[in-house]
Amino acid sequence: MSVQVWTYIFVGLSFSLYLGIAWWARVADTKGFYIAGGGVPASANGMATAADWMSAASFISMAGLVSTMGYSGGVYLMGWTGGYVLLALLIAPYLRKFGHFTVPDFVGDRFGTNYGEGKPDSMMKRILANPARVVAVVCALFVSFTYVAGQMRGVGLVFSRFLEVEINVGVVIGMIIVFVYSTLGGMKGITWTQVAQFWVLITAFLVPTIAISLKLTGEMVPQIGLGSELVDGGMMLLDRLDGLHKELGFSSYTEPFQGKWDKANVFMVALVLMAGTAGLPHVIVRFYTVKSPAAARWSGFWALLFISGLYLSAPALAGFARFYMINTLNGATEENIPQWFTNWEETGLILWVDDGDGKLHFSNKEDNEIFRQGPTLSDSELLHIIKDHQLYIDTKGTADPRGVDGRAVLRDMGLSGPDKDIIVLATPEMAELSNWIIAFIAAGGLAAALSTASGLLLVISSSVAHDLYYRIINPVASEKQRLMVGRGFIGLAVVIAGIFGIYPPGFVGEVVAFAFGLASASFFPVILLGIFNRRVSTTPAVFGMMAGMGFTMFYIIAVKYFGMAQWTFWGLSEPGIQPAAIGAIGMVINFIVAIALSYVCEKPGPEIQKLIDSVREPEDAEGSINIEDAPEH
């Protein structure tokens, strides 16, 4: 059978399973909708958390980043994995013991102000009485919408190639699917759907990785295969990659700290990814779904164990992909261009316009052609193609007969391809594996993107329906009204997420990295201080979040979209602090502002002090606070 037929089979079966689970797990109360009833077993929650975590960025983009960056790409592995240690030890059990629905709920109650007699009788008074909750809701929306943009883009990419539809049509299909099972079952449906999605995505990732390792090196364990000799070359795979890189003008694949990935940027990006992981609302909310703080800790353990299957295999798949890409593309002609290139060229995510010699040069040398569509295109047509299709071109040469400086074009457009998001999905085709394996990885990519998208959409919904509508706008709203608002806003959020997927601000991994920067600069400091610092009150927390988030957003937008030069202070080498790393500075600013203001502002009142003490008591001293009994500030 063809790849497309196999794809329809795998996607059809997996989508039927997801929708069936959603129908079985449909809920009619807010506790089930927001935290799955609070009784999910730790091991199942670990699988759901792993699926929630292993998004399109992990499944589709991470190995692509390592493949194109080499050694430096390991920063994503270290950062995203290390963040779970912070989350499991410093945050998850304490927030579970606090017993609320969401991160803004924790921020609102921990940094709330005293109402005095009664509660404020108007919405404006409620906002002024609890500004921390409102700021936290805004931060949660910014982080979640930035993150979900990458997931919807990933859905579009998979559908575009394997179901042979346009990327935008693929995004719309994904929007419909995720809307149905998110609104039916809420967190309960999402949790059990993510358990199924975990097994789909992890199997779909490991099967081709193992198959390619066997084919290239004869080793069944991919990690061993990466460091082994090639079956047909008698040379170590990594040594061969380093040799090819040197020959073609690229930096060494295995040498650390090169170019913009100096030690400072690697350190800051790793810090951002770790702190961002520990501050992501859609990950933290998973620890509210278990029975106790002890179960929250065990959820962290199980999640790390399940995640390791993909994260420890990604560097191997990245190395295999790089080897195949160079060997199949460099020197190819119109007659022998590999079939995988032709297949993916139709998606508009890889492009070759010949400079006249009839050969594709996949290299970083100045004398190589950059495009394939022929020298008849004008400069304006060329730029039109790039802008319309978000293309990441396949090389960086300059010898275009029309006098177009290809390197300058790519630099001005911020492109240096091929598109990193196609590498994992295209590798089974590069290796000429069976059609069913090629199709199976498509089902895995969809599972990864949809599992995270659903979690993010629920965070967006709960931030608006619970933290904004119920806590601020209409505190007397019935459970039916709150569920209606929550489900309605999921629909609106799906539409907005789809628009971001159709018009993405960057490739999947890059967009997700920005979300981590925003989370590390806003939520991580305020959560950590809220648990472990008794002095920080409302004003320091609010100004800390605003300063950290504001600075980080300004830098990312100014550098990425308005051409501001990257900062090079503190001895950083050119080109300075990368946008993906700036969240580390934003996080420090947040900590400094909040702690400094805590010494000039009044301490939290006795009720808040008592709340902090109860959250920090040993697990067996007092049970976790029930959702129904949590204070409504």
Selection from 5-14, 323-332, 377-386, 525-534 with the highest mean pLDDT: 525-534
Q: What long-range pairs does 120-129 form, CB within 8 A, spacing at least 24?
A: 123/472, 123/473, 126/471, 126/472, 126/475, 127/472
**Alpha helices (H) in 63-166, listed in sequence order:** 63-69, 74-86, 92-98, 103-110, 123-129, 131-162
Cα–Cα distance measured from residue 354 to residue 375, given in angstroms and rounded to the nearest whole number: 7
Residues 6+ apart with CB under 8 A from 271: 79, 520, 584, 587
Contact 39, 186 (CB under 8 A): no
Cα–Cα distance measured from residue 291 to residue 274, given in angstroms and rounded to the nearest whole number: 26
pLDDT(418) > 70: no
**Amino acid identity at 65:** L
pLDDT(628) > 70: no
pLDDT(399) > 70: no
pLDDT of residue 16: 86
Cα–Cα distance measured from residue 588 to residue 552, given in angstroms and rounded to the nearest whole number: 11
pLDDT of residue 215: 92
pLDDT of residue 261: 80
Out of 47-51, 292-296, 577-581, which region has the weakest mean confidence (pLDDT)? 292-296
pLDDT of residue 506: 57
pLDDT of residue 598: 93
Q: How many CB atoms lie within 10 A of CB 60?
A: 30
State mean pLDDT over 191-211. Answer: 89
Enter the tokens of residue 499. Answer: 């628009």
Question: How many Cα atoms within 13 Å fall on the side-chain side of residue 548?
Answer: 37
Beta bridge partner(s), residue 229? 236
3-class SS at 101?
coil
Cα–Cα distance measured from residue 566 to residue 576, given in angstroms and rounded to the nearest whole number: 5
pLDDT(406) > 60: no
State mean pLDDT over 43-54. Answer: 84
State mean pLDDT over 21-48. Answer: 76
State mean pLDDT over 158-167. Answer: 74
pLDDT(387) > 60: no
Selection from 10-24, 160-174, 220-234 with the highest mean pLDDT: 220-234
Which residue in this structure is represented by tokens 């290796």? 431
Beta bridge partner(s), residue 414? none
Cα–Cα distance measured from residue 61 to residue 54, given in angstroms and rounded to the nearest whole number: 11
Out of 32-46, 241-255, 543-557, which region has the weakest mean confidence (pLDDT)? 32-46
pLDDT tens-digit readout, 235-248? 898 898 888 888 87
Cα–Cα distance measured from residue 602 to residue 599, given in angstroms and rounded to the nearest whole number: 8
3-class SS at 415?
coil
Which residue in this structure is represented by tokens 């970083």? 364
Confidence of residue 613 (pLDDT cuts 50, 70, 90): confident
Confidence of residue 224 (pLDDT cuts 50, 70, 90): very high
CA dihedral 124, 129, 133, 134 (to 10 degrees): 30
Selection from 304-318, 410-424, 498-512 with the highest mean pLDDT: 304-318
**Alpha helices (H) in 258-359, listed in sequence order:** 263-279, 281-284, 293-311, 314-329, 339-345
Confidence of residue 569 (pLDDT cuts 50, 70, 90): low
Total-model pTM: 0.77
pLDDT tens-digit readout, 429-441? 888 889 899 888 8
Q: What is the largest CA-CA distance in the chain?
A: 82
pLDDT of residue 370: 41
Cα–Cα distance measured from residue 252 to residue 246, given in angstroms and rounded to the nearest whole number: 6
Contact 369, 357 (CB under 8 A): yes
Q: How many CB atoms lie within 10 A of CB 479?
A: 13
Burial label for 248, CB within 10 Å (0-12, 13-18, 19+), is: middle
State mean pLDDT over 10-21. Answer: 84
pLDDT(348) > 80: no
Confidence of residue 26 (pLDDT cuts 50, 70, 90): confident
State mean pLDDT over 452-462. Answer: 79
Q: What percent of the chain has pLDDT over 70?
A: 79
pLDDT of residue 559: 83
State mean pLDDT over 350-354. Answer: 62
pLDDT(228) > 80: yes
Contact 458, 285 (CB under 8 A): yes
Residue 420 DSSP symbol: G
pLDDT(125) > 90: no
State mean pLDDT over 289-314. Answer: 84
Beta bridge partner(s), residue 359? 333
Q: What angle do CA 151, 527, 631 make, to 5 degrees?
A: 105
Out of 74-78, 303-307, 367-371, which region has the weakest mean confidence (pLDDT)? 367-371
Among 432, 435, 387, CA closest to 414: 387
Cα–Cα distance measured from residue 54 to residue 282, given in angstroms and rounded to the nearest whole number: 12
Beta bridge partner(s), residue 353? 372
pLDDT(505) > 90: no
pLDDT of residue 193: 84
Residue 471 DSSP symbol: I
Enter the tokens of residue 143. Answer: 């982080």
Contact 337, 372 (CB under 8 A): no
Enter the tokens of residue 209. Answer: 């990785």
Q: How far is CA 580 from the centre of its chain?
A: 12
Confidence of residue 119 (pLDDT cuts 50, 70, 90): low
pLDDT of residue 383: 41
Q: Give 399 or 624, the one with higher predicted confidence.
A: 624
Share the mean pLDDT of the chain. Answer: 77
pLDDT of residue 308: 87
Cα–Cα distance measured from residue 484 to residue 511, given in angstroms and rounded to the nearest whole number: 31
Confidence of residue 573 (pLDDT cuts 50, 70, 90): low
Q: What percent of the chain has pLDDT over 90?
A: 11
Contact 223, 476 (CB under 8 A): no
Residues 6+ apart with CB under 8 A from 141: 460, 463, 464
pLDDT(199) > 80: yes
pLDDT of residue 623: 47
Cα–Cα distance measured from residue 145 to residue 493, given in angstroms and rounded to the nearest whole number: 8
CA dihedral 519, 497, 21, 102 (to 10 degrees): 30
pLDDT of residue 206: 92
